[in-house]
């Protein structure tokens, strides 16, 4: 029987370092998704080390994790910056994401269990409470969990891996699609319809709704970005 390593053993130190850089990556991911670190922003190591109370080693390891997800660009000998996508890239990526979301919904309806539906239903009502409070970060975390749960219910590891890789690049954009209250309200109503179709196990109808839901997000984001780009011209 192998002895349990003490906290100062190389194994324990390695585990702690790995857990630390994953925690740093998770915090940076939140800052990017919530728009606190905007696309194109250079990541200042000294400031982030102070803000997150970590050394440069776990911070740089976190950069690598986020670079693999497409959220951060590593600059040779110049640190890193938050990745920026063109409008064309955004439209193409959302188009693929809409297909993956729709496929997830269709397959999930064939495999999902009653307890899984109840879990999603509970997340939905927590999400509604966040919407009522206008707590967008809380709302979005629950929203993300619902979409992930539907995808996982499809019981298709290849679909899940592809879904997660593509979706990671869109999280900040999906978050900002709720900045306008009327668009946010529409998204909430669509989520209510999703739950109804999931509970009825109407795979084709759920898939169609999920595809439209994601394409609506794309349209909102593209309109926002175009308006933002045109704003200086209108101000002249």
Handedness of CA 14, 19, 23, 28 (dihedral sign): positive
Give the span between the Cα atoms of 17 and 56, in whole angstroms.
12
**If you write DSSP's letter for every residue of 158-182 in order, what string do you get?**
HHHHHHHHHHHTTHHHHHHTTSSHH
For residue 197 the two structure tokens come to 């179709």
Residue with tokens 């193409």: 92
- The model's pTM: 0.84
Using 70 as the pLDDT threshold, list the residues of the chain that sit under it. 1-18, 231-236
- Tens digits of residue pLDDT in 139-170: 999 999 999 999 999 999 999 999 999 999 99
**Crossing angle (nearest 10°) for helices 136-153 and 114-133:** 160
Query: How is the chain split into domains, by residue range?
Result: 10-82, 87-235
6-40 pLDDT, tens digit per residue, is: 444 443 334 356 688 899 999 999 999 999 999 99
Instruction: Give the 3-state secondary structure of residue 73.
Output: strand
CATH 1.10.10.10 for domain 10-82, yes or no, is yes
Answer yes or no: CATH 1.10.630.10 is held by domain 87-235.
no
């Amino acid at each position: 029987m192998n002895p349990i390593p003490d906290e100062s053993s190389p194994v324990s130190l390695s585990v702690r370092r790995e857990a630390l850089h994953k925690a740093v990556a998770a915090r940076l991911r939140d800052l990017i998704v919530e728009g606190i670190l905007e696309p194109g922003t250079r990541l200042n190591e000294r400031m982030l080390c102070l803000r997150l109370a970590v050394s440069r080693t776990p911070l740089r390891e976190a950069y690598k994790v986020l670079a693999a997800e497409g959220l951060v660009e590593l600059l040779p000998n110049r640190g890193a910056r938050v990745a920026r996508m063109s409008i064309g890239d955004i439209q193409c990526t959302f188009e693929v994401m809409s297909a993956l979301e729709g496929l997830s919904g269709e397959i999930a309806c064939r495999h999902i269990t009653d307890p899984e539906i109840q879990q999603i239903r509970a997340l939905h009502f927590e999400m509604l409470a966040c919407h009522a409070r206008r707590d967008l970060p809380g709302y979005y975390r629950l929203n993300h969990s619902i979409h992930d749960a539907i995808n996982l219910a499809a019981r298709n590891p290849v679909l899940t891996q592809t879904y997660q890789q593509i979706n990671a690049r869109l999280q900040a954009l999906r978050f900002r699609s709720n900045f306008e209250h009327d668009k946010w309200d529409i998204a909430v109503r669509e989520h209510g319809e999703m739950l109804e179709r999931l509970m009825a196990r109407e795979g084709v109808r759920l898939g169609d709704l999920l595809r439209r839901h994601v394409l609506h997000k794309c349209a909102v984001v593209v309109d926002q970005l175009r308006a933002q780009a045109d704003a200086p011209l209108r101000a002249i």
